[in-house]
């Protein structure tokens, strides 16, 4: 790869544009005084070292990164409740500013590690001075509890380089189940939580006025 900055530029542009668009969905729910299935949105472009590591592990030639590595650009959409994830996926399916090319449900079909999330792979058209460039991006939709677990697991993965000691592996699996039970428990009192949040938001708006 001769020029990484030039190669990654459209990915960075895509992340910036989609963050604004997807955050706008949350604002629209708030304007309609409806429960927002989106808590917040984050995005990033993989560091060069991570791209090279993954290419090496997956056996992806550098000249095929654009077509074979789906998550050079990635966004995460955090949801308050598990049921909100499906609603967000449905909203993404209705959009016409990108095309969904693959979906992977790691909530119904969790990974062996305990990882849960819903992945949507898209092609997004970036407008450049040389014309339109369609790039692959991955959107991960998960609850706050799922994200907390995944963040910890990701950090430990770097420490152990994917080779977790058996006790750590078992603890992580146990923690993943605990996080999912927390999500399920919160879903049982969803109505109470949403009512409390609505009262809090009304008070906040009153103070602004």
Could you tell me which of 44, 54, 40 has the C-alpha nearest to residue 14? Answer: 44
Q: Which of 102, 138, 153, 184 is catalytic?
A: 138
What token pair was written down for 22?
């997807």
What token pair was written down for 113?
């590690």
H/E element, 34: none
- Measured between alpha carbons, how far is 156 from 166 in angstroms, rounded to an integer? 13
Alpha carbons within 13 angstroms on the beta-carbon side of residue 54 total: 13
Active site residue 68: no
Instruction: Name the β-bridge partners of 102.
Output: 121
Backbone angles phi, psi at 165, to 5 degrees: -60, 150
Q: Do the beta carbons of residue 50 and residue 14 sit within 8 Å? A: no
- Measured between alpha carbons, how far is 51 from 56 in angstroms, rounded to an integer? 9
Query: Looking at the annotation, which residues are catalytic?
Result: 138
């Amino acid at each position: 790869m001769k020029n990484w900055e030039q190669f990654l530029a459209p990915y960075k542009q895509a992340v910036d544009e989609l963050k604004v668009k997807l955050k706008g969905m949350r604002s629209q729910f708030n304007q309609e005084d409806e429960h927002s299935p989106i808590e917040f949105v984050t995005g990033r472009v993989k560091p060069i070292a991570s791209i090279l590591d993954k290419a090496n592990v997956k056996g992806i030639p550098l000249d095929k990164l654009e077509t074979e590595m789906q998550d050079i650009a990635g966004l995460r959409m955090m949801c308050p409740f598990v049921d909100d994830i499906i609603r967000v996926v449905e909203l993404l399916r209705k959009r016409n500013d990108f095309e969904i090319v693959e979906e992977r449900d790691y909530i119904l079909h969790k990974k062996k590690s305990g990882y849960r999330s819903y992945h949507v792979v898209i092609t997004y058209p970036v407008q450049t001075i040389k014309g339109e460039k369609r790039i692959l991006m991955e959107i991960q939709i998960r609850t706050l509890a799922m994200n907390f677990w995944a963040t910890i697991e990701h950090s430990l993965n770097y420490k152990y380089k994917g080779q977790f000691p058996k006790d750590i592996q078992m603890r992580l699996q146990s923690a993943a189940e605990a996080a999912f039970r927390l999500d399920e428990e919160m879903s049982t009192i969803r109505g109470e939580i949403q009512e409390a949040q609505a009262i809090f938001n009304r008070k906040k708006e009153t103070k602004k006025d």
